[in-house]
């Protein structure tokens, strides 16, 4: 029998708010890159974000060894999960009765991690019905569907009640939306005293304008990378006061340098490596209090 929790969300997909959002929904509905699926298969946590931390060369062993590629995939995945743990380190004290929101939740890997860590409810929104179905199927397989739920929904217009959410985040998903609209919505559903965290790639105002590498990343993902200045200004305008700003650029470079040597390369590795090296692009975590 089909129940409410097992029915695919595709049965009730809202129309995209704009033609652009329709493009992004299609993009993620059709995405099936091995660099994401093979990494997720390592332990069933499927991410669409990048990694941070030092590469464990001892664990990788000899590149000539027949098991090397498998170990490399496991290592890239370990670094991506480490990134999500660092984001969660900044969410503050979360109890099992709390609700968290993952804005732009992808296939839901971070939501599962947050539930395992805090025992709380996690609500995810994505434009992609394929991703929401994938995340809900994984939650059912893990028997956590009463706590972890994805829906097809525009993160700028969510059904969450005003002041009902203890903490929320965007993990590499804020480059698809206007930041003033985004932070107005987080600010609306967060409790006063709640916490907002983003990990994002942003262009560096000190460079002047987006570099050719940043433009290449935008074209590759059909996104619009904002500047660091824009993040801080849009937060300030929406009652989100930064508590920590961490430049993760040096921590993400080893991930990219390792990924560039793998068989799973997608062609975007050079743009990330060169823009991080020339200072035009930064990988940043911002944690802010809703005041
Ligand atoms: C790069 S993926 C990041 C996924 C996830 N945060 C993770 O870390 O694995 C970007 C996500 O943003 C979502 N997204 C983009 N624009 C959105 C919008 N307006 N509303 C909801 N989700 C959106 C996409 O559907 C996709 O799931
Ligand atoms: C930091 C920036 C600018 C990110 C842009 C958003 C994005 C597409 C993130 C990774 O998704 P993915 O895991 O699906 O990408 P890939 O296939 O390259 O691993
Ligand atoms: Mg990826």
How does pLDDT run across 198-229, given as a tens digit for each residue?
999 999 999 999 999 999 999 999 999 999 99
Of 221, 222, 249, 267, the residue with max ligand 2 atoms within 8 A of its CB, to mutate for a pocket test, comes to 221
Residue nearest atom 9 of ligand 2, based on CA coordinates: 49
Phi and psi at 279, nearest 5°, equal 85, 5
Q: Is the CB of 33 under 6 A from ligand 2?
A: yes
* pLDDT (0 to 100) of residue 10: 64
Using CA atoms, how far apart are residues 33 and 143, in angstroms rounded to an integer?
Answer: 27
* pLDDT (0 to 100) of residue 12: 78
* pLDDT (0 to 100) of residue 13: 86
Q: Regarding beta strands 165-171 and 190-203, do their DSSP bridges make them parallel or antiparallel, or are they unpaired?
A: parallel
Please report which confidence band the pLDDT of residue 11 belongs to, taking 50, 70 and 90 as the band edges. low
- Taking the centre of ligand 2 as the mean of its atom positions, its distance from the CA of residue 141, in whole angstroms, is 26
Of 17, 39, 106, the residue with max ligand 1 atoms within 8 A of its CB, to mutate for a pocket test, comes to 106
* pLDDT (0 to 100) of residue 7: 67
Quick one: tokens of 157? Answer: 């217009």
Calculate what percentage of the chain has a pLDDT beyond 90: 95
Average pLDDT of every residue of the chain: 96
- DSSP H/E element including 165: strand 165-171
Using CA atoms, how far apart are residues 168 and 177, in angstroms rounded to an integer?
Answer: 16
| In contact, 217 and 258? CB cutoff 8 Å | no
- Indicate whether 3 pLDDT > 70: no
| In contact, 110 and 99? CB cutoff 8 Å | no
* pLDDT (0 to 100) of residue 1: 38
* pLDDT (0 to 100) of residue 8: 74
- Indicate whether 232 pLDDT > 90: yes
- Indicate whether 290 pLDDT > 90: yes
Q: Complex ipTM above 0.90? A: yes
Q: Is the CB of 224 under 6 A from ligand 2?
A: no
Using CA atoms, how far apart are residues 40 and 83, in angstroms rounded to an integer?
Answer: 14
- Taking the centre of ligand 3 as the mean of its atom positions, its distance from the CA of residue 49, in whole angstroms, is 5
Dump strand ranges (E) for 127-219: 148-152, 165-171, 190-203
- Taking the centre of ligand 1 as the mean of its atom positions, its distance from the CA of residue 92, in whole angstroms, is 23
* pLDDT (0 to 100) of residue 2: 40
Please report which confidence band the pLDDT of residue 237 belongs to, taking 50, 70 and 90 as the band edges. very high
| Among the ranges given (9-13, 99-103, 190-194), the one the predictor scored with the smallest mean pLDDT | 9-13
Q: Is the CB of 223 under 6 A from ligand 2?
A: yes
pTM assigned to the model: 0.97
- Indicate whether 25 pLDDT > 60: yes
Tens of pLDDT, residue by residue over 73-114, are: 999 999 999 999 999 999 999 999 999 999 999 999 999 999
Using CA atoms, how far apart are residues 265 and 218, in angstroms rounded to an integer?
Answer: 18
Using CA atoms, how far apart are residues 34 and 254, in angstroms rounded to an integer?
Answer: 20
């Amino acid at each position: 029998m089909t129940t409410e929790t097992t029915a695919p969300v595709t049965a009730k997909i809202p129309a995209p708010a704009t033609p652009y959002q329709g493009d992004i929904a299609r993009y993620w509905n059709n995405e099936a890159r091995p660099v994401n699926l093979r990494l997720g298969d390592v332990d069933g946590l499927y991410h669409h974000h990048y990694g941070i931390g030092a590469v464990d060369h001892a664990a990788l062993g000899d590149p000539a060894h027949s098991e090397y590629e498998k170990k490399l995939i496991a290592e890239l995945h370990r670094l991506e999960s480490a990134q999500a743990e660092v984001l969660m380190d900044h969410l503050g004290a979360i109890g099992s009765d709390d609700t968290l929101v993952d804005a732009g939740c992808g296939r839901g890997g971070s939501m599962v991690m947050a539930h395992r860590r805090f025992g709380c409810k996690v609500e995810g929104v994505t434009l992609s019905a394929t991703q929401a179905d994938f995340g809900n199927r994984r939650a059912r397989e893990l028997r956590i569907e009463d706590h972890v739920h994805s829906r097809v929904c525009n993160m700028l217009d969510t059904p969450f009640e005003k002041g009902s959410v203890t903490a929320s985040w965007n993990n590499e998903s804020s480059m698809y939306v206007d930041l003033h609209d985004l932070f107005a919505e987080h600010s609306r559903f967060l409790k006063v005293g709640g916490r907002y965290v983003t990990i994002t790639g942003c262009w560096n105002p000190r460079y002047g304008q987006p570099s050719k590498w940043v433009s290449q990343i935008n074209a590759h993902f059909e996104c619009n990378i904002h500047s660091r200045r824009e993040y801080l200004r849009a937060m300030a305008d929406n009652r989100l006061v930064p508590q920590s700003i961490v430049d993760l650029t040096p921590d993400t470079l080893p991930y990219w340098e390792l990924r560039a040597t793998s068989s799973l390369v997608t062609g975007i590795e050079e743009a990330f490596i060169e823009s991080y090296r020339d200072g035009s692009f930064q990988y940043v975590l911002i944690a802010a209090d809703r005041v």
